[in-house]
């Protein structure tokens, strides 16, 4: 199964003008994951009610609530100046437990669920949690790219950006992917918003098996390369999310990592997670525009 690019840099970023192609992002209510056997899909409200009952029964905690991807479209209002081109994203409720089921499921079963979802509902992820996160590829003041080697019980040892789950809120107006991207930068690398000169959304990319997806960002910061290579970043609250950081200062280094799984002159092989691989691929392709 290959990664799925729900939308990419061509839709979100104008490389010549160096600005977004959208003028606003609107979050709308989406549905929960479909129920195998009945072929039904709970509404936003029904899923919230289900989770509230599980919390009341002590079967889950509020922190387990996550955002679920349920589609997007481009829209806007020709009657409101400056709001003609909107990125509208439907987000429903899911949970860490539902994602964990997807993660542990055999790949053959996952493929079968995706196939049924596509055939019966024209939606590969109809029966999956499709959890949402934000992944940020960080750039130094000099223009180097910073990624990390994950340290966790899922995807351990794989290369990823500063990344994590998006924060769910039953009031969708409070769900904010830009805010979550800044939060990951601050929590994992101790880079605060005032130290970010540009934050560019370049895509929404789903992992092959689970269809969990990350909004992929490129952040240009005023932090010098030495800040990351010296280990000063380890003062971050969630620095433990990464075993180490990797610095990429040229498109050829990115291409070697994506093609061979190797960094610079090293021979150790790494897996690059789907969303970060897409971000790196776009950085190599649009090196000047994104720097």
Centroid of chain to Cα 12: 15
Query: What does each of the 291 residues of the chain score in pLDDT, given as a tens digit?
Result: 589 999 999 999 999 999 999 999 999 999 999 999 999 999 999 999 999 999 999 999 999 999 999 999 998 766 556 667 899 999 999 999 999 999 999 999 999 999 999 999 999 999 999 999 999 999 999 999 999 999 987 889 999 999 999 999 999 999 999 999 999 999 999 999 999 999 999 999 999 999 999 999 999 999 999 999 999 999 999 999 999 999 999 999 999 999 999 998 788 999 999 999 999 999 999 999 998
**Which among 164, 101, 160 is positioned nearest to 128, based on CA atoms?**
101
Rg of the chain (C-alpha set): 19
> Do residues 181 and 268 touch, judged by C-beta distance below 8 A?
no
CA 177 to each of CA 17, 95, 132, 229: distance values in angstroms, whole numbers, following the listed order: 23, 17, 9, 28
**Which among 54, 56, 39, 38 is positioned nearest to 93, based on CA atoms?**
54
Q: DSSP strand E in 76-131: where?
A: 86-95
Selected from 3.30.565.10, 3.20.20.80, 3.90.79.10, 3.40.50.1820, the CATH number assigned to the domain covering 4-290 reads: 3.90.79.10
Distance CA 225, CA 247 (A): 8
């Amino acid at each position: 199964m290959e990664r799925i690019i729900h939308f990419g840099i061509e839709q979100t970023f104008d490389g010549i003008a160096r600005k977004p192609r959208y003028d606003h992002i609107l979050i709308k209510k989406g549905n929960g994951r479909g129920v195998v056997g009945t072929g039904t899909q709970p509404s936003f409200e029904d899923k919230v009610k289900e989770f509230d009952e599980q919390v009341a029964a002590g079967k889950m905690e509020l922190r387990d609530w996550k955002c679920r991807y349920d589609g997007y479209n481009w829209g806007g209002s020709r009657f409101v100046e400056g709001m003609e081109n909107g990125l509208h994203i439907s987000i429903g409720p899911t949970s860490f437990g539902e994602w964990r089921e997807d993660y542990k499921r055999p790949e053959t079963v996952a493929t079968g669920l995706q196939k049924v979802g596509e055939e019966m509902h024209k939606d590969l992820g109809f029966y999956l949690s499709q959890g949402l996160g934000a992944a940020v590829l960080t750039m130094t003041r000099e223009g180097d790219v910073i990624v990390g080697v994950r340290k966790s019980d899922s995807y351990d040892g794989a290369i990823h950006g500063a990344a994590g789950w998006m924060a769910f809120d039953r009031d969708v107006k409070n769900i904010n992917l830009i805010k979550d991207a800044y939060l990951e930068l601050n929590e994992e690398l101790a880079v605060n918003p005032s130290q970010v000169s540009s934050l560019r959304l370049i895509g929404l990319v789903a992992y092959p098996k689970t269809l969990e997806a990350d909004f992929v960002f490129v952040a240009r910061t005023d932090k010098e390369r030495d800040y990351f290579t010296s280990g000063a970043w380890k003062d971050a609250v969630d620095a433990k999310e990464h075993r180490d950081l990797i610095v990429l200062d040229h498109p050829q280094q990115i291409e070697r990592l994506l093609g061979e799984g190797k960094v610079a002159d090293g021979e150790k092989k790494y897996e690059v997670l789907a969303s970060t691989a897409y971000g790196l691929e776009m950085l190599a392709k649009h090196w000047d525009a994104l720097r």
